[in-house]
Amino acid sequence: MPIINKLHELYEGLGFSVSSGLSPSHLDGCIEAPFTWLLKDGESFTNGLGISMKEVYFLECLFDGWQPKTGFLIGNSFGWSALAVGLLNPKARIVAIDAGFDANSLTGLEMTNTLARQEGLNLTAVQAVSPDGVAGVMADQFDGPIEFCFIDGLHTNEQVVKDFKAVQPYLAADALVLFHDVVMWNMNPGMAEIARLAGASPELLYGTCSGMAALYFGDDPAVRRTLATFHGNARAREIMQAMPHQRRFRHFYRWKRSFNKRFGRDKARSA
């Protein structure tokens, strides 16, 4: 079911203004424009932006035909992703952790828990640092394996590998692990190491604004369909990547034709 309006209403009910899904092309190429911003008194409330409107849509497609019973998120910020997962999986046990280092992130944990209680979700946001704090949270909050995991913590190759290694022992045999910001933050080396550890390669999802990656151990056809849809067509990407080069050369040749035409006329007049 669509939840983007609901998410906006939840945060607006706490006195925030929400911006999500804006196009970079409308804002001088601002790459952060598609992601979710909370504003209070006309100022940005948090350093950690939420997933984009299109990535919320990706989650809607993902969970439309597949309903995990457990979910674990590394990186909560103000709870936008956690609440999206919880609203789409109202029967699931969802836990999100955040180190609490960013501005207003501790308030974000409180907000997440407040909104989860308000909506009757089995969702808890906990202050904990990955990787060292993951085992304790697993012992305290879950009584079974993790079927869905979303890793959206510190965006470095070293940290994303640490985060995966921390959750790997707790994953169900058919779990799906989703990594945020892989393409945007150049975390392909981290994905390569995770592929080595997992014995399976994460799939890049070019149809998401941040370039997520998904590591799926199961065989549910609905999940596979969604991942294929958001992976995007490889040949189309090649064509699009070549277009700036082609545009530059088209501009050059138009200028050259115009110059030659004018030069020819001037030459003819002087003859």
Running along the chain, 271 residues long, what does each successive block of 10 average in pLDDT? 96 97 93 96 91 98 97 97 98 97 94 98 98 98 98 97 98 98 97 98 97 98 97 91 66 56 47 38
Q: What is the structure's pLDDT at 177?
A: 98
Q: What is the structure's pLDDT at 243?
A: 80
In contact, 142 and 95? CB cutoff 8 Å: yes
Residue 17, judged by CB atoms within 10 A of its CB (0-12, 13-18, 19+), counts as middle
Q: What is the structure's pLDDT at 249?
A: 55
Tokens of 229: 């849809």
Q: What is the structure's pLDDT at 242?
A: 85
Q: What is the structure's pLDDT at 179?
A: 98
E-assigned strand segments in 120-190: 123-127, 146-151, 171-179
Q: How many CA atoms are closer than 13 Å to the CA of 183, on its beta-carbon side? A: 14
CA distance 225 to 227: 6
In sequence order, what are the residues at sequence separation of 6 or more whose Cβ sits closer than 8 angstroms to the Cβ of residue 24?
30, 31, 33, 34
Query: Domains plus CATH for the chain?
Result: 50-231 (3.40.50.150)
CA distance 8 to 144: 32
Q: What is the structure's pLDDT at 11?
A: 98
DSSP 50: B
pTM of the model: 0.89
At 15, give phi and psi (nearest 5°). Answer: 95, 15
In contact, 6 and 87? CB cutoff 8 Å: yes
Please state the length of the chain. Answer: 271
**Amino acid code (one letter) for 64:** D
Q: What is the structure's pLDDT at 259?
A: 55
E-assigned strand segments in 27-137: 37-40, 43-44, 70-74, 93-98, 123-127
